[in-house]
Amino acid sequence: MRRNRIIGLSGLVLVACVVMHGCASAGGAGAGSGQELSETGLKIERAHALARDAQAAEREGDLAAAIDLYKRAVVEYRDFGAAWNNLGALLLEDQKTMAASEAFKRAMDLLPRDPRPPTSLGVIWDRAGYPDEASRYYELALQRDPEHLPALRASAVLDQERGKGNDVTAQNIKRALLLETDTKWKEWFQREALKLRAKGFEG
């Protein structure tokens, strides 16, 4: 049961690599001279170019090259949140859990509305056997986006597996049922909703 659940959750982390053009500003009020703004703009352009090359390397199956290119992208521009997130996903795929965790934390700070970095951190803690810490990150992801399906799945599984399902779990499952398109997941949510209802939890 535990092994199957972990296999099911593993796919939650490997989010699509999307280069977020325009996600970083070249500066703000009082940011400095025109020359400084121009230098920052060039750094952002170079970082985006490296991220595009990283995506191409990943499509070709060259994980090491993709990781290296994302690392170069975030060195070029430290506030490139999407590159940090994608780097974390690839580091995790490469079994570099600690480095992946740090990349996701950086992405979480830089992308305050994005539910993917905290969801990925939740999966890392879940795999490591720290369910309370995992649950905290899943909750944070759902605060950012209550309809983020990977976090809804992971949070509900964790609650039900530990026997800690409650009204919040029931509400998350109800929401997930409206979003879910995968037949197996839909069936699982339906079964767990019935179990919670039998215990008096309606959401």
Question: What domains appear along the chain, each with residue ranges and CATH number?
Answer: 2-164 (1.25.40.10)
**Structure token pair of residue 6:** 């972990």
Largest distance between two CA atoms of the chain: 66
pLDDT at 3 over 70: no
Instruction: Categorize the per-residue pLDDT at 27 as very low, low, confident or very high, splitting at 50, 70 and 90.
Output: very low
Q: What is the average pLDDT value for the chain, to the nearest integer?
A: 86
* CA 151/CA 12 separation, integer angstroms: 8
Q: What pTM did the predictor assign?
A: 0.82
CA gap 150, 28 in Å, rounded? 34
Residue 148 to residues 7, 123, 153, 179, Cα–Cα distance (Å): 19, 14, 9, 9
For residue 36, the model assigns a pLDDT of: 63
Percentage of the chain surpassing pLDDT 90? 79
For residue 160 the two structure tokens come to 């039900």
pLDDT value, residue 13: 40
Averaged pLDDT for residues 43-72? 96
Express the helix, strand and coil content of the chain in percent, nearest 5 each. 75, 0, 25
How many beta carbons lie within 10 A of that of residue 64, not counting itself? 10
Give the C-alpha separation, 90 to 96, whole Å.
9
For the residues 137-142, what does the mean pLDDT come to? Answer: 98
